[in-house]
Chains A and B, each alone.
Chain A
Amino acid sequence: MTAGRRTTRALLLALLWLAVGLLAGAAEIRPTRDYLSPELRRAQDDPSRHPGWLWVEEGETLWQDGERSCQSCHGEIGTMSGVAARYPAVAGDGALLNLEGRIDRCRTQHQGQPAFGYESEPLLALTAAVALRSRGMPVNVVTEGPAAPFLEEGRRFYETRQGQLNLACGQCHDDKAGQHLRGDVISNGIGTGYPAYRLDWNTLGSLHRRLRACSLGVRAEQLPLGSAEYLALELFLASRAKGQPIEAPGLRR
């Protein structure tokens, strides 16, 4: 073997070790669909086997409903393509809004209607119908500028041990993803499937409803739907999910 070849081989080996080191250093984030059973994954992809489509259809109807409908300003719901991938986002007045919050604010500010309210059927339906227009698109939230303090708040919440069981989110969703809690596979907890139809709920529900279940699971205080803490956490989860495909409406166990 020549000296040149030896140098090349040493260089390649060094690069290989560097790559291995980088992979081991950062928690690998995978789409939640990768953690689903094959049956559930197939059903998530098949509108005829996915009960969440009942909400999508209702949402598409609501989109056109009334004189000052969503459609009267935005046009066809197809114009919402890519929007869900950019939420949560900071509004002009400095408030952090998720997709539900954005829709309900439109209701009150532009449509002159009372807010639907968190977890109401019409808000879930509209959110599902809008989110569907971003299905398969990579999460692309803004985390700089006015979003930065919210991101940090969300990161702190995510990394803080809490509850009687003294667990931080990342201890399971970064370090143990792919392993099992009883029969359930732990995902990276990125929230890209919400609103999602959960078989254990027997209905469609929001990410914040799911977060309340997480809080309960570690025996921590359950915060209100739409609370500042859960909103900031939602932004941090979306920042972890950057580049991962939107799966909403998801199908979960």
Chain B
Amino acid sequence: MRGAVVALIALLAAAPASGRVAPFVVQEDAIAAPLDGLAGDPVRGEAVTRNRETANCLICHAIPGTTERFMGDIGPPLAGVGSRLAPGQIRLRVVDPTLVNPEAIMPPYYRTEGLLRVDPRYRGQPVLTAQEVEDVVAYLAGLKE
């Protein structure tokens, strides 16, 4: 609960400059509510996951059941992630893993504040849109053991 209040205060404080990021509430290690109330689509989510220009998840993670070659091994394989984590937990980890673990190596995909030396072309924008995050969450939540 205290975490949620702190996160909410942080968001309110950051609100003027974070125009492209919808507000969200962190509870425990999850963001329970879909961003902007959007519904995710797992088919689109798989496409986002595999897109080398945006999310580029496979540079670090392996996904099951594809013919992709050369998937990365920096992060854990994503097979079965939908059994290990609830959708809200997946959502938080895609939005910004440092909210769970400050030392996390995984980049934030829905954050614009508190980042240093951002390339001007990306400044003020998150890596993924709220819809893309929801699509990825829908896809990953469906990767059951």
A172 at the interface (CB under 8 A from B): yes
Instruction: Indicate if the CB atoms of B127 and A182 lie closer than 8 Å.
Output: no
Q: Shortest distance in angstroms between A170's beta carbon and chain B's nearest beta carbon?
A: 10
B118 near A221 (CB under 8 angstroms)? yes
Q: Which residues of A contact B121 (CB under 8 A)?
A: 219
Tell me if B23 counts as interface (CB < 8 A to partner A). Answer: no
Please tell me which one of the listed residues B70, B72, B98, B107 contacts residue A164 in the complex, with CB atoms under 8 A apart: B107
Query: Residue B108 at the A interface, CB < 8 A?
Result: yes
- Which A residues touch B108, using CB under 8 A? 166
> Measured between C-beta atoms, what is the minimum distance from A141 to chain B in Å?
25
Stretch at the interface among A9-17, A31-39, A82-90, A155-163: A155-163
Q: Which residues of chain B (59-92) have a CB below 8 Å from chain A?
A: 59-60, 69-74
B120 contacts the other chain (Cβ, under 8 Å)? yes
Q: Are A221 and B74 interface neighbours, CB within 8 A?
A: no
Residues of B within 8 A of A162 (CB): 115-118
Do A180 and B105 form a contact, CB below 8 Å, given A164-B115, A222-B119? no
In the complex, the answer to whether A167 meets B118 with C-beta atoms within 8 Å is: no
Would A166 and B115 count as touching, CB distance under 8 A? yes
Give A106 Cβ to nearest chain B Cβ, in Å: 33
Chain B residues with CB under 8 A of A163: 115-119
Determine which of A164, A171, A180 lies in contact with B127 in the assembled complex, contact meaning CB atoms within 8 Å: A164
A93 CA to B58 CA, complexed, in Å: 48
Nearest to A157 among chain B residues (CB) is: B117
Number of residues in B with C-beta < 8 Å to the partner? Answer: 24
Give the docked Cα–Cα distance between A220 and B120 (Å).
8
Pairs across A and B, CB under 8 Å, 5 listed: A166-B107, A166-B111, A167-B107, A172-B74, A221-B119
Contact B73 A216 (CB under 8 A): no
B122 touches A182 (CB 8 A): no
Are B74 and A219 in contact, CB atoms less than 8 angstroms apart? no
- Contact pick for B118, options A164, A172, A175, A186, CB 8 Å: A164
Query: Which of B70, B72, B125 gathers the greatest number of chain A CB atoms within 10 Å?
Result: B72
Per-residue CB contact flags for chain A residues 213-245 toward chain B (1 = under 8 Å, else 0) read: 001101111100000000000000000000000
- Which B residues lie at the A interface, using CB under 8 A? 58-60, 69-74, 98, 105, 107-108, 111, 115-122, 125, 127
Residues of chain B lying within 8 A (CB to CB) of residue A175: 105
In the bound complex, residues from chain B placing their C-beta under 8 Å from that of A167 are: 105, 107
Q: Which residues of B lie under 8 Å from residue A166 when comparing CB positions?
A: 98, 107-108, 111, 115
Q: Is the CB of B115 within 8 A of A183?
A: no
Interchain CB contact under 8 A, B71 and A182: yes
B122 proximity list for chain A (CB < 8 A): 164, 219
Binding site for B on A (CB under 8 A): 160-167, 171-172, 175-176, 179-183, 186, 215-216, 218-222
Question: Which of A164, A171, A182 is B59 in contact with, Cβ under 8 Å?
Answer: A182
| 5 closest A-B pairs by CB | A183-B70, A165-B107, A162-B117, A164-B122, A182-B70
Most chain B Cβ neighbours within 10 Å, of A161, A165, A175: A165
Known interface pairs A164-B107, A166-B108, A172-B105. Does A179 touch B118 (Cβ–Cβ under 8 Å)? Answer: no
Residues of B within 8 A of A181 (CB): 59-60, 72, 74
B116 near A160 (CB under 8 angstroms)? yes
A182 to B, closest residue via Cβ: B70
How far is it, in angstroms, between the C-alpha of A181 and the C-alpha of B58 when the chains are bound? 8
In the complex, A46→B105 CA distance in Å?
Answer: 37
Answer whether A164 and B105 are a contact pair too, CB < 8 Å, given A180-B73, A181-B74. no
- Please give the distance in Å from A122's CB to the nearest CB on chain B: 31
* Of listed A166, A180, A183, A222, residue having the most chain B CB within 10 A: A166
Question: Which residue of B is nearest A164, CB measured?
Answer: B122
- Chain A min CB distance to B61 (Å): 11
